[in-house]
Amino acid sequence: MGCSSSLPDRNSGRLSGLNSENSGATDAKNLRVKLVLLGDSGVGKSCIVLRFVRGQFDPTSKVTIGASFLSQTIALQDSTTVKFEIWDTAGQERYAALAPLYYRGASVAVVVYDITSPESFQKAQYWVKELQKHGSPDMVMALVGNKADLLENREVSDQDGMEYAEKNRMFFIETSAKTADNINQLFEEIAKRLPRPASS
Amino acid sequence: MTEKKAFHLLQVLEPRRDAYGFALRPQHVQRYREYSNIYKEEEEERSDKWRVFLEQQSESGNLPSLEEEKKEKQPTEVSEQKSNTSPKSVGEGDDTSVEPTTDSSAEGNFEKEVESTKELKARKVQKWANIRPVLGAIENMMSFRVKKIKKMEDERQTLRDGQLPPVEETGPSGGTSEDDNEEEIIVDKVSNGSGKSSTEEVISTKEAPPKSFFSWKEELECLVRGGLPKDLRGELWQAFVGVRTRRMERYYQDLLALEGDSGGGELVDEPSGASKKWRKQIEKDIPRTFPGHPALDEHGRNSLRRLLLAYARHNPSVGYCQAMNFFAGLLLLLMPEENAFWTLVGIIEEYFEGYFTEEMIESQVDQLVFEELMRERFPKLVNHLDYLGVQVAWISGPWFLSIFINMIPWESVLRVWDVILFEGNRVMLFRTALALMELYGPAIVTTKDAGDAITLLQSLAGSTFDSSQLVLTACMGFLAVTEARLQELQEKHRPAVLEVIEERTRKGRVFKDSKGLASKLYSFKHDPEPLIEEKLHKAESEDTPVDADRSHSSNLEEFLAGDDSEVDSVPDLQEQVVWLKVELCTLLEEKRSAVLRAEELETALMELVKQDNRLQLSARVEQLEREVAELRQALADKREQEAQMIQVLMRVEQEQKLTEDARISAEHDLAAQKYAVHVLQEKYEKAMASLGQMEKRVVMAESMLEATLQYESGQNKALSSPRAAVARNQGSSQETPPKRLSILSRPFGLGWRDRNKGKPDEPGSGHSSPLPKETSGQEPEH
């Protein structure tokens, strides 16, 4: 194949992506999902994950280098369980060079921005475009406005977020890792939107 | 120093931090406690060893002073960054007499620029300490050691056209024009440097005592692998990295002074946008660097901020990259601020050259290299990871980028750093990662899904408290992983990484194409600095689209600048050449993007075909599903019938039961009746028996009666003749009648009568008359 020689990296990634898509859903009742968090530095990606997985909030969490991994299983009302394998990526711009490593083969991408920072909203849009270009086409995408507890400092209206999400067929929610507001809802909503394997 | 004291104090109060003041994860507190004694013992042992070693060294005599002078080549390398053409010796803490003069001349430019502010700042910062005060012997030995590293470095450097990683990296991929440009700038320096180093090598080979050197080196290597004593670590690290030879007097202070001026802006070397970006990022990251560490109080954080800003300013091709905050933080815990700065310079620019630049090329290359080594060494493990859909780089990437900080326990981090800094390359980085895989691979192979595998490896790595085992495994277990081998593999994999980056860049450029030319033209006229900046700093990397564009423009500018200073005769032609080049570039870009689009379409087609297959498959699946449904329906019907049958059967059975019951009760009745019959029979028999007895008695009675009668008649006869007989007969005949009556009154009188039926005279007529008859009749019988 012509493309495999020119893009060895990408190509193998796609293969492994298919792989994990296949193995991603072990059966109709127990889903396994690779989820990647993307977004500007300091918008609270790690905090969202920590809140979701451990129920904790640490206002002085560490800088994430490269990426870090955590997993969490939730049960839905229809008695299916979803195991999220969460890759929390580094936020600094140059680490974007490594991001494909993590979002390749992911079936969910959560793009996070900080509602007090228009710049981070810009960055979120960059990520959405990047994912549309290079992510797997049936990826479930969520746009998350974090730090919703800092209402008085809000600079990105929820209207803007919602409109952008709608335009790009994403699921939109505003969360606060600090107060735990909407964090579980975020993941539950994602779980509901996952394509279910045909029950046979 | 004050920081150190402070955190030692705090550490006593705070049990959840290790001996270095770093936070321990709650799940590791127990294990840390177990190991802290081992650490203590190891520490004692190694400080003894080092003391002995150092004493020996100092006894064996100081190395020739010529060694010191060899440092002079160092400055060339460092000064290149400042674009100072004259290589000056770095005297800084050194005692060589020549230094002061050279220093002043070399830094003249800078001093002019920031003279006034510098003095103040310098006093404020003042955070430089020589290694020397600790031990004269260490000093000498280390300076010798530094020279050795430095020499090798220089050799490398001559091959490399100076200390500019990006140039070499972008060479194969990047545009041609930039390269030419770069070379022009560097040429003279290269010649300088190479000439110098070669002569120095000659000197050093003459001068260095080979025998003692090798034994010395081996011994030192052994000691380093055993770990550095805590109190010497900071200084030894500096010595390994060659801080003293790197250092330029006042350079750091100048950088800080620029920092203070940055509002004014004219001295800010990097584009203000970038510096703003870095500053912002650094601000964000400072509180997130070892949060809560006792030494990183406000004072410590200020140090960290200064250090990172100074570095960003010093090397714009790297600027600030997340992870450097941790390195800087760690260094600040072990040494004064300026020493930390120069150590950081050494680590980032030499050991991890090209790692933390905008495109992070080398770090990506290293991941491919590591994966290949993994496949070579642990095929089974990698197969398993492949099967689970886990890429090795997901896990090893963060290890490499953070140099294991926050990935393994601190004691282990420091031990690994000891070796890395000593060896002066990334071999130990690979070896340590391989050692971790060797230690934990067997456990990983047992996992069943990707999440579990990654989680397990993360947590196992996080509990690698046995630092000696780790370092030993790393150093002894992977001797085949050498620098040469790594370089070979890096060369092999670099093109793939560059290709991907280039492709992305191209895409970005195509996207921006419309404004490309305009912005270039604009930058022509409005941006005179970049050229100067480039000369000053020997150009930053061109790996990013932005940088590439900028260097494009600066390329043009150089022409312009040159024209300005010289004549206006050539510009048209030159400009045309430039335009053509630009044109050519855009055409090439377009071609590439067309090729890419073709490829994309191809893959899209493939996907369509695949989807087609999917449609067919899904149709088939549907059909099968329908069949299954039908079969299920049939099955259900059958089941229903079965149920009905069962019901009928049940009913029949019930009836059967009823009849059976009836039968049983009838039988019971029968038995009862039989019993009754039996009882009756018995009674009857008894009755018959008693009747029999009665009859017998009657017979007896009769016979008795007869006998009596006969006797009577006999008496009568006797009486009729003799008188006495008559009298007696009279009497007895009177008695007899009552007897007869009594017998007749009995119930069985009948029987008696029946028996007597046959007797003609007996019934009917009264007793008196028949009796006489009988007697009359009987008389003849007798």
CATH number at residue B476: 1.10.472.80
Q: What's the confidence (pLDDT) of residue B706? A: 86
**Mutant choice from B403, B500, B597, B614 vs A, greatest count of A C-beta within 10 A:** B500
Under 8 Å between Cβ of B107 and B248: yes
Residue B73 domain-assigned (yes or no):
yes
Mean pLDDT of B505-526: 49
- Distance of residue A28 Cα from the nearest chain B Cα, in angstroms: 16
If you ran DSSP here, which 8-state letter would residue B768 be given? T
Whole-number Å distance between alpha carbons of B198 and B158: 9
**Is the same domain home to B267 and B181?**
yes
Output the domain CATH number for residue A132.
3.40.50.300
C-alpha distance across the termini of chain B, in Å: 174
Nearest to A66 among B289, B402, B497 (CB): B402
Residue A199 domain-assigned (yes or no):
no
Whole-number Å distance between alpha carbons of B222 and B218: 6
Confidence band of B220 (pLDDT split at 50, 70, 90)? confident
Q: What's the confidence (pLDDT) of residue B255? A: 87
- Distance of residue A51 Cα from the nearest chain B Cα, in angstroms: 17
Q: Which of B295, B327, B351 is the last residue of a domain?
A: B351
**Is the same domain home to B297 and B395?**
no
Residue B710 domain-assigned (yes or no):
no
Residue A198 domain-assigned (yes or no):
no
- Distance of residue A181 Cα from the nearest chain B Cα, in angstroms: 23
- Distance of residue B257 Cα from the nearest chain A Cα, in angstroms: 27
CB contacts, 8 Å: B391 with chain A: 16, 101
Q: Which of B462, B481, B500 is the last residue of a domain?
A: B481
Mean pLDDT of B5-32: 70
Single-letter code of the amino acid located at B294: P
Taking the Cβ of residue B290 and every Cβ of chain A, the question of whether any pair is shorter than 8 Å is answered with yes
| A74 has a pLDDT exceeding 50 | yes
Taking the Cβ of residue B363 and every Cβ of chain A, the question of whether any pair is shorter than 8 Å is answered with yes
Whole-number Å distance between alpha carbons of A49 and A39: 13
Tens-digit pLDDT profile for residues B602-619:
888 877 777 777 778 888
Whole-number Å distance between alpha carbons of B132 and B334: 15
Q: What is the C-alpha radius of gyration for chain B, rounded to an integer number of angstroms?
A: 62
| B12 has a pLDDT exceeding 60 | no
Q: What's the confidence (pLDDT) of residue B717? A: 77
Q: What's the confidence (pLDDT) of residue A167? A: 95
- Distance of residue B124 Cα from the nearest chain A Cα, in angstroms: 29
Q: Are the Cβ atoms of B603 and A6 closer than 8 angstroms? A: no
**Is the same domain home to B64 and B205?**
yes
Tens-digit pLDDT profile for residues A34-49:
999 999 999 999 999 9
Residue A156 domain-assigned (yes or no):
yes
Mean pLDDT of chain B: 71
Whole-number Å distance between alpha carbons of B201 and B165: 23
Q: Are the Cβ atoms of A200 and B602 closer than 8 angstroms? A: no
Confidence band of B242 (pLDDT split at 50, 70, 90)? confident
Report CA torsion sign: B51, B56, B61, B66.
negative
Tens-digit pLDDT profile for residues B108-125:
333 333 333 333 343 444
Residue A200 domain-assigned (yes or no):
no
Q: Are the Cβ atoms of B285 and A20 closer than 8 angstroms? A: no
Whole-number Å distance between alpha carbons of B682 and A120: 118
Confidence band of B129 (pLDDT split at 50, 70, 90)? confident
Mean pLDDT of B651-668: 93
Taking the Cβ of residue B302 and every Cβ of chain A, the question of whether any pair is shorter than 8 Å is answered with no
Residue B505's closest CA among B173, B214, B44, B54?
A: B173
- Distance of residue A78 Cα from the nearest chain B Cα, in angstroms: 23
Look up residue A96 and give its two tokens: 């974007």
Residue B499 domain-assigned (yes or no):
no
Q: What's the confidence (pLDDT) of residue B570? A: 54
CB contacts, 8 Å: B354 with chain A: none
Residue B692 burial by CB count (10 A; 0-12/13-18/19+): exposed, middle or buried? exposed
Side-chain-side CA neighbours of B588 within 13 Å: the count stands at 13
Look up residue B246 and give its two tokens: 């790197």
Residue B11's closest CA among B23, B1, B2, B25?
A: B23
Tens-digit pLDDT profile for residues B277-301:
889 999 999 999 988 888 888 899 9
Of A81-90, B249-258, B337-346, B656-665, the one with minimum mean pLDDT is B249-258
Beta strand A81-89 pairing with A30-39: parallel
Nearest to B359 among A2, A97, A198 (CB): A97
Q: Which domain holds residue A60?
A: 2-193
| B7 has a pLDDT exceeding 50 | no
Q: Are the Cβ atoms of B289 and A62 closer than 8 angstroms? A: yes
Q: Which domain holds residue B450?
A: 360-481
**Is the same domain home to B231 and B320?**
yes
Residue B400 domain-assigned (yes or no):
yes
Helix, strand or coil, per DSSP, at residue B266: coil
**Is the same domain home to B156 and B181?**
yes
Taking the Cβ of residue B591 and every Cβ of chain A, the question of whether any pair is shorter than 8 Å is answered with no
**Is the same domain home to B294 and B379?**
no
Residue B212 domain-assigned (yes or no):
yes
Tens-digit pLDDT profile for residues B381-440:
999 999 999 999 999 999 999 999 999 999 999 999 999 998 888 999 999 999 999 999
Highest mean pLDDT among B84-98, B212-226, B679-693 belongs to B679-693
Nearest to B364 among A83, A97, A105 (CB): A97
Whole-number Å distance between alpha carbons of B406 and A90: 14
**Is the same domain home to B260 and B369?**
no
Helix, strand or coil, per DSSP, at residue B23: strand
**Is the same domain home to B132 and B176?**
yes
Q: At how many degrees (to 10) do helices B2-13 and B324-334 cross?
A: 100
Q: Are the Cβ atoms of A66 and B398 closer than 8 angstroms? A: yes
**Is the same domain home to B329 and B376?**
no
Q: What's the confidence (pLDDT) of residue B150? A: 52
| B146 has a pLDDT exceeding 70 | no
Of A177-181, A182-186, B182-186, the one with minimum mean pLDDT is B182-186
Q: What's the confidence (pLDDT) of residue A72? A: 94
Q: What's the confidence (pLDDT) of residue B571? A: 56
* CB contact residues (below 8 A), chain B span 181-210, against chain A: none
Of A32-36, A71-75, B167-171, B415-419, the one with minimum mean pLDDT is B167-171
Q: Are the Cβ atoms of A60 and B499 closer than 8 angstroms? A: no
Of A72-81, A146-155, B711-720, the one with minimum mean pLDDT is B711-720
Q: What's the confidence (pLDDT) of residue B141? A: 56
- Measured in degrees and rounded to the nearest 5, phi and psi for residue A134 equal -115, -10
Q: What's the confidence (pLDDT) of residue B75? A: 38
CB contacts, 8 Å: B401 with chain A: 65-66
Tens-digit pLDDT profile for residues B555-581:
444 444 444 444 444 556 777 777 888
CB contacts, 8 Å: B629 with chain A: none
Confidence band of B211 (pLDDT split at 50, 70, 90)? low
| B546 has a pLDDT exceeding 60 | no
Taking the Cβ of residue B303 and every Cβ of chain A, the question of whether any pair is shorter than 8 Å is answered with no
Interface contacts (A, B; CB < 8 Å): 125
Q: What's the confidence (pLDDT) of residue B576? A: 78
Count of beta carbons in the 10 Å neighbourhood of residue B335:
23
- Distance of residue A19 Cα from the nearest chain B Cα, in angstroms: 7
**Is the same domain home to B340 and B388?**
no
Residue A66 domain-assigned (yes or no):
yes
Residue B306's closest CA among B334, B323, B325?
A: B325
Q: Are the Cβ atoms of A98 and B363 closer than 8 angstroms? A: yes
Q: Are the Cβ atoms of A65 and B359 closer than 8 angstroms? A: no
CB contacts, 8 Å: B287 with chain A: 60
Q: Are the Cβ atoms of A60 and B281 closer than 8 angstroms? A: no
Residue B739 domain-assigned (yes or no):
yes
**Mutant choice from B394, B410, B626 vs A, greatest count of A C-beta within 10 A:** B394
Highest mean pLDDT among A40-49, B82-91, B768-777 belongs to A40-49
Whole-number Å distance between alpha carbons of B37 and B45: 12
CB contacts, 8 Å: A97 with chain B: 359-360, 364, 501
Percentage of residues in chain A having pLDDT higher than 70: 84
| B716 has a pLDDT exceeding 60 | yes
CB contacts, 8 Å: A64 with chain B: 322
**Is the same domain home to B50 and B190?**
yes
Mean pLDDT of B263-274: 50
* CB contact residues (below 8 A), chain B span 604-623, against chain A: 618, 621
| B682 has a pLDDT exceeding 90 | yes
**Is the same domain home to B461 and B332?**
no
Confidence band of B261 (pLDDT split at 50, 70, 90)? low
| DSSP run (H or E) holding B74 | helix B73-82
ipTM, 2 decimals? 0.87
Q: What's the confidence (pLDDT) of residue B125? A: 43
Q: What's the confidence (pLDDT) of residue A99? A: 92
| B680 has a pLDDT exceeding 90 | yes
Nearest to B284 among A3, A41, A105 (CB): A41
Helix, strand or coil, per DSSP, at residue B520: helix
Q: What's the confidence (pLDDT) of residue B509? A: 58
Please state the domain count of chain B.
Answer: 3
Q: Which of B293, B324, B351 is the last residue of a domain?
A: B351
Residue B399's closest CA among B421, B427, B367, B359?
A: B367
Single-letter code of the amino acid located at B256: L
Q: What's the confidence (pLDDT) of residue B589? A: 82
Whole-number Å distance between alpha carbons of B334 and B129: 12
Single-letter code of the amino acid located at B43: E
Please state the domain count of chain A.
Answer: 1
Under 8 Å between Cβ of B249 and B128: no
Percentage of residues in chain B having pLDDT higher than 70: 60
